[in-house]
């Protein structure tokens, strides 16, 4: 009979060897050092071999449990048909992605896919989905946690859980082991995008943006970002066909939005003036700086420009931080109703009847808010920012 200590201390030799336990169960120690649980059994008069897992993912006690369960199935004639297609975790994952990606923004899809391909599939992708348990998932999450990426470990657990739920719903597995791991990873620190929220500091930032001496497209994008406070990806992918400059609005189609809902951005007079500074080169208002003008500006361009201006994009301001500036000052300094602000930020804001985000809701109030906001930013730049005013959507 094997012991935990004997299994743990087994070392690789020049040739592979076996350490026997009981009832046909043994540990196969490969020359590479891998330790594999195997079960020797007879079926229809023929000697066969079953794989019961890999040590240490499968412990000695777990291997014995698997052996007993296998023999019960053998006696009942209920062993799985090996001619059936093996449903690996990667198979289910790819199928789940093909369904889910249709409703996601491209940037979000790429983030999820790359995360799975780097952190998950190389380790458990080839495993049969119904053979995975909490121990294997936790090992994977702790590997991510060990890099200091605690928040990523939590998000990865959530993604794995969604894949298992899909597997259960489609009849390929019976159990979601990720659900047992709530609390197994330390809580992540909430990380906010860097952004100043004091009017005096914002005023200095705005004056610095005006003084930028780089390319025209980046200069306009820098100055437009605080006026429209959309997500950086939405700004750099702005297209001429989406703009109604006479009507002073920008209509962003659903496929470009994180919420997958079309969104209207009312444009203040100052925003229209900035856009009119841009030459029309291709379909994007902010084309790529390279030769290929059919692509939008690089996602790194805004942050690179901020660093060139001397700002630390880890602790002071990022392209995404203009949203935090607007959210804070619109409420604290201009006293705008948070519900109106949230609609302009394109966050999902259910109403009292539970209805989802509506792109035209509060549109007139948002139009007035955006002009008031642009005027307030001009006052800040000029050193005349009002401490607190009462915004009125009816004025």
The string of pLDDT tens digits covering residues 165-211 is 999 988 888 889 998 888 888 886 655 566 778 888 899 999 999 99
Quote the pLDDT of residue 75.
Answer: 85
Quote the pLDDT of residue 354.
Answer: 45
Give per-residue pLDDT as tens, 43-57: 888 888 888 999 998
Q: Does residue 234 sit in the same domain as residue 256?
A: yes
Q: Does residue 229 sit in the same domain as residue 140?
A: no
Length of the chain counted residue by residue: 395
Quote the pLDDT of residue 45.
Answer: 84
Instruction: For the sheet with 35-43, list strands across it.
Output: 17-20, 25-29, 35-43, 46-55
Q: How many of the other CB atoms lie within 10 Å of CB of 366?
A: 21
Mean pLDDT on 314-329:
89
Residue 356 has pLDDT above 60, yes or no: no
Mean pLDDT on 121-132:
91
Q: Which of 114-123, 282-291, 384-393 has the lowest mean pLDDT?
A: 384-393
Residue 383: pLDDT band (50, 70, 90) is: confident
Quote the pLDDT of residue 391.
Answer: 61
Mean pLDDT on 232-247:
96
Residue 300 corresponds to which tokens in the numbers above?
């790194």
Q: Does residue 126 sit in the same domain as residue 149?
A: yes
Final residue of a structural domain among 181, 214, 242: 181
Q: Does residue 161 sit in the same domain as residue 243?
A: no
Q: Which of 106-110, 215-219, 230-234, 363-367 has the lowest mean pLDDT?
A: 106-110
Q: Does residue 259 sit in the same domain as residue 360?
A: yes
Here the CATH number for the domain that contains residue 35 is: 3.30.160.390
The phi and psi torsions of 184 (rounded to 5 degrees) equal -75, -25
Give per-residue pLDDT as tens, 25-35: 999 999 888 99
Check residues 281 and 349 and name the one with the higher pLDDT. Answer: 281
Quote the pLDDT of residue 84.
Answer: 55
Quote the pLDDT of residue 179.
Answer: 86
Write down the residue that tokens 């970002």 correspond to: 225
Q: What's the CA gap between 339 and 358, in Å, rounded?
A: 12
Residue 218 has pLDDT above 70, yes or no: yes
Q: How many domains does the chain have?
A: 3
Q: Which residues are catalytic?
A: 231, 258, 320, 323, 347, 357
Cis bond before residue 56 (omega within 30° of 0)? yes
CA 248 → CA 135, 243, 367, distances in Å? 56, 8, 9
Q: Which of 95-109, 188-202, 371-385 has the lowest mean pLDDT?
A: 188-202
Domain containing 29: what range?
A: 4-76
Q: What's the CA gap between 37 and 54, in Å, rounded?
A: 6
Q: Does residue 300 sit in the same domain as residue 218?
A: yes
* Contact predicate 302/236, CB 8 Å: yes
Here the CATH number for the domain that contains residue 166 is: 1.10.150.130
Mean pLDDT on 336-352:
82
Question: Which residues, including other chains, have CB under 8 Å from residue 323's CB and lie 6 or more apart?
Answer: 193, 195, 229, 230, 231, 345
| Percent of all residues in the chain with a pLDDT value above 90, rounded to a whole number | 58
Residue 389 has pLDDT above 90, yes or no: no
Q: What's the CA gap between 123 and 136, in Å, rounded?
A: 9
Residue 368 has pLDDT above 70, yes or no: yes
CA triplet 124, 180, 36: central angle to 5 degrees?
35
């Amino acid at each position: 009979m094997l012991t935990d200590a004997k299994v743990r201390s087994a070392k690789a030799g020049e040739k592979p060897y076996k350490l026997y336990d009981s009832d046909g169960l043994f540990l196969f120690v490969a020359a590479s050092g891998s330790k594999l649980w195997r079960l020797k059994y007879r079926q229809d008069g023929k000697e066969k071999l079953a794989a019961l897992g890999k040590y240490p993912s499968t412990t000695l006690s777990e291997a014995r449990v698997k052996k007993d369960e296998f023999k019960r199935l053998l006696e009942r004639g209920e062993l799985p048909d090996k001619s059936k297609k093996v449903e690996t975790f990667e198979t289910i994952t790819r199928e789940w992605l093909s369904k889910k990606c249709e409703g996601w923004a491209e940037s979000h899809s790429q983030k999820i896919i790359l995360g799975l391909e780097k952190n998950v599939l190389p380790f458990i992708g080839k495993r049969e989905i119904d053979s995975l348990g909490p121990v294997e998932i936790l090992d994977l999450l702790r590997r991510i946690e060990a890099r200091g990426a605690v928040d990523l470990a939590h998000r990865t657990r959530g993604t794995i859980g969604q894949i298992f739920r899909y597997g259960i719903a489609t009849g390929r597995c019976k159990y979601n082991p990720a659900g047992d791991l709530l609390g197994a990873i330390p809580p992540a620190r909430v990380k906010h995008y860097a952004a100043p929220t004091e009017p005096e500091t914002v005023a200095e930032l705005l004056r610095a943006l005006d003084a930028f001496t780089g390319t025209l497209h980046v200069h306009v994008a820098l100055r437009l970002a605080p006026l429209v406070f959309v997500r950086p990806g939405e700004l750099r992918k702005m297209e001429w066909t989406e703009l109604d400059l006479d009507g002073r609005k920008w209509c962003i189609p659903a496929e470009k939005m994180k919420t997958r809902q079309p969104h209207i951005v009312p444009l203040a007079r100052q925003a229209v003036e900035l856009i009119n500074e841009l030459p029309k080169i291709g379909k994007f208002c902010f084309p790529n700086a390279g030769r290929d003008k059919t692509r939008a500006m690089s996602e790194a361009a805004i942050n690179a420009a901020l660093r060139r201006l001397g700002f630390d994009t880890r602790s002071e301001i990022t392209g995404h931080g203009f949203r935090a500036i607007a959210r804070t000052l619109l409420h604290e300094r201009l006293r705008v109703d948070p519900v109106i602000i949230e609609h302009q930020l394109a966050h999902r804001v259910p109403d009292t009847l539970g209805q989802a985000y509506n792109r035209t809701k509060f549109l007139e109030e948002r139009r007035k808010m955006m002009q008031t906001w642009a005027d307030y930013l001009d006052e800040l730049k000029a050193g005349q920012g009002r401490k607190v005013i009462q915004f009125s959507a009816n004025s």
